[in-house]
A and B are shown apart, each in its own frame.
Chain A
Amino acid sequence: DAGITQSPRHKVTETGTPVTLRCHQTENHRYMYWYRQDPGHGLRLIHYSYGVKDTDKGEVSDGYSVSRSKTEDFLLTLESATSSQTSVYFCAISDPGGSSGNTIYFGEGSWLTVV
C-alpha cells in the first residue's frame, strides 16, 4: 500500500468552527490531491498541489483552502465549517513521469461530520 496517512480519520465538529485535515505521504510523489466523496456525486476534486507551495483549485474549492509547505504534507482547511461540508475526504498522491506513471493512490479517508 502507498504510504499515505490522513488525520484525523474521524471528526465531529460544530458549524462555524475551523477544521484542518492533514495528509502525509512517504512516497515523495510530486502531486497531492484532496477529494470529497458524497452519495450521488462520486469523487470530486477540491484542491491539488503540484509541488511545494504550488496549489490550484479543483471542481469544488469554495469554502476550502490548502497549504503545502513540505513535499510530504498537504493540509486541507475548512475556515468555517458548514453542514454541506459533511463528507468523506480522501487525500491522494501521484507522480506523473515517475515510476508509477499516472496511477493515483488514495489515503484511507477522513470522515467529517459538521453538526
Chain B
Amino acid sequence: RKEVEQDPGPFNVPEGATVAFNCTYSNSASQSFFWYRQDCRKEPKLLMSVYSSGNEDGRFTAQLNRASQYISLLIRDSKLSDSATYLCVVNKNNAGNMLTFGGGTRLMVKP
C-alpha cells in the first residue's frame, strides 16, 4: 500500500462545477499536510496547507480527518485555469521536513 494515495483521475468537469478530491495516508503519526498544484511540464507549487480545523482560500477548501487518515480538497466554481494535477503531500515528521507525495489527481475543466 502506498503511503499517500490519490485517485489519478482525470476528473473532467465543466466550468463552474464543484469538484472534490480525496487523499488517504497510512502513517498515523503524520504531522502536516499540504495540497500542491502542478501544471504540465512545470514544477509543483504550494496551493495550500491543510489545518486540523479545515481552511479555506477563496474557491478552495481543504479538510483534514485524522481519525480516518484522509484529507480533501474542494474546488468551487471551477475555472479553465484550474486544470492541473493536484498533489496531496504529507509530512511524516517534524524532525526535518520529510514529505511524501501522492501520485496526483488530474483535473480538466472544460468550457
Q: Give the nearest-CB partner of A31 in chain B.
A: B97
Q: 1/0 contact trace for A97-114 toward B, CB 8 Å? A: 000001111111100000
Q: Which residues of B contact A102 (CB under 8 A)?
A: 32, 34, 49, 91, 94, 97
Q: How far is the CA of A106 from the CA of B47 in the complex (A)?
A: 13
1/0 per residue, CB under 8 A from A, across B37-53: the answer is 00001111110010000
Interface stretch among B14-22, B58-66, B72-80, B98-106?
B98-106
Write out the residue numbers on chain B whose beta carbons fall within 8 Å of the beta carbon of A104. 46, 89, 97, 99
- Size range of the interface on A? 20 to 34
Instruction: Count residues of B near A (Cβ-Cβ below 8 Å).
Output: 21
Residues of B within 8 A of A (CB): 32, 34, 41-46, 49, 87, 89, 91, 94, 96-99, 101-104
Q: List 14 A-B contacts (CB under 8 A).
A: A31-B97, A41-B103, A42-B103, A43-B87, A48-B96, A90-B43, A90-B44, A96-B94, A102-B91, A104-B46, A104-B89, A105-B46, A108-B42, A109-B41
